[in-house]
Structure 1
Amino acid sequence: MAGRKADQGFETDMLLTAEFWVAVAFVAFLVIVWRVGGFSMMTNGLDSRAKRVRHELDEARRLREEAAAVLADYKRRRTEAEREAEAIVAGAREDAERIAAEGHARLNDFVARRTKAAEAKIAQAEAQASAQVRAAAADAAVKVSETLLRERLQGVAAQDLVRASLGDVKSRLQA
């Protein structure tokens, strides 16, 4: 019996400990929560939270893919814009070179025409000056001849001869 009392003492001591009553209260709490449906509410809450997190992850993945597509589109457009800008610059450079060549050709044509016109004016002025010099020389020769013939020839016949000769000389010198 002594052994039995010792065993009962252990059971009594165990019933008086705080840990035992905490364990009993915890088990009772779990039973109450199970009866009320608390476990299903917790699992439903965790499931809904998991669904929400999964949905947010799917949304983030979709947004990341969309951002990657937008970035790829931006890079493609930038590359196209760079190529187009290079083509525009090359075209402008070609146009500028062509315009410069045309301008140079026009300038050369203009200079050639102006040179030709100046040469024509110079030739005309030379011809006119030469004609004026010939006319002046002819007039001077006629006057000198007239003076000499008057001095040497006398009379009416001499005057008629001088006039006829002077007219003939004058017309020959001017032609």
Structure 2
Amino acid sequence: MKKLAVIAATGLSAGPAFAATGPFFSLRNTDFIVLVSFLAFVGVLLYFKVPSRIGALLDSRAAGIRRDLDEAKRLREEAQEIYASYERRQREVAGQADQIVANAKREAEAQAAKAKADLKSSIERRLKAAEDQIASAEADAVRAVRDRAVQAAIAAASSLLAQQVGAGQRSAGIDEAIDDVARRLN
């Protein structure tokens, strides 16, 4: 503490006011002129109420800043509410999207099962139609072979009868043989 007092005393004693020669309250002393000019300047400022005007400007500026801060706070709260509503909407939309995907999967599986059943029934119908065609072709082939056999038998019988029977009996025997073959085939 004593050191601080010594430093302050030496600093004040070495000031420019003590370096000047002559009386302090003289117009030749520059320090006095500066002091008077400063006091006159402060007086003019006080006379024109500059400090109160500066204070009013600072107060209005502070009020503007306060309004801006309140507005910013209100906007922040609105933004948080909007953000929360968007998050809720996003969760709802995500849930709906999951439901849509699940429904689409179920519908796709149902469609696939239906298509599989339709394909299976179509294949069965085609197989049945092919089997029916094969059976029909088989019956036609059997009928054709039977008809050929009948024709061959008739031709063979006709030629045998023609050799065995004479010319007069030929026509009566042929008629009888034809009737006999026709009765046996039907």
Shorter-chain TM-score tier: 0.7 to 0.9
Q: 52-61 vs 143-152, which deviates more?
A: 143-152
Instruction: Give the conservation status (yes or no) of the 8 Å contact 2:161–2:173.
Output: no
Instruction: Give the conservation status (yes or no) of the 8 Å contact 1:142–1:170.
Output: no
**Which fold has the larger relative contact order, with Cα–Cα distance below 8 Å and residues 6 or more apart in sequence?**
1
- Aligned pair partner of 1:152 in 149, 159, 164: 164
Letter in structure 1 aligned against 2:150: A
- Aligned pair partner of 2:103 in 87, 91, 103: 91
Structure 2 residue aligned with 1:103: 115
Structure 1 stretches (4+) deviating beyond 3 angstroms?
Answer: 12-35
Q: 24-33 vs 94-103, which deviates more?
A: 24-33
Structure 1 residue aligned with 2:69: 57
Structure 1 residue aligned with 2:124: 112
Q: 42-51 vs 57-66, which deviates more?
A: 57-66
Shift of 1:115: 0.5
Q: Which ranges of structure 1 fall in alignment gaps of 5 or more residues?
A: 1-11
TM-score, normalised to structure 2, is 0.73
SS at match of 2:51: helix
Structure 2 residue aligned with 1:33: 45
TM-score, normalised to structure 1, is 0.76
Q: Does 1:135 align with 2:135?
A: no
Q: 18-27 vs 31-40, which deviates more?
A: 18-27
Instruction: Give the whole-Å Cα distance in 2 for the aligned partners of 1:146 and 1:36.
Output: 158
Shift of 1:70: 2.9
Instruction: Give the whole-Å Cα distance in 1 for the aligned partners of 2:82 and 2:30.
Output: 65
Instruction: Give the conservation status (yes or no) of the 8 Å contact 1:142–1:169.
Output: yes
RMSD: 2.7
Letter in structure 2 aligned against 1:38: V
Question: Higher helix share goes to which structure?
Answer: 1
1:125-162: CA deviation from partner (whole Å, max 9, x where unpaired) = 11111111111111211222222222222252453033
Shift of 1:108: 1.0
Instruction: Give the whole-Å Cα distance in 1 for the aligned partners of 2:162 and 2:54.
Output: 157
Q: Which ranges of structure 2 fall in alignment gaps of 5 or more residues?
A: 1-21
- Aligned pair partner of 2:174 in 142, 146, 162: 162
Letter in structure 2 aligned against 1:66: E
Structure 2 residue aligned with 1:47: 59
1:20-74: CA deviation from partner (whole Å, max 9, x where unpaired) = 6655555554444333322321221111011011011112212222322332233
Instruction: Give the conservation status (yes or no) of the 8 Å contact 1:149–1:162.
Output: yes
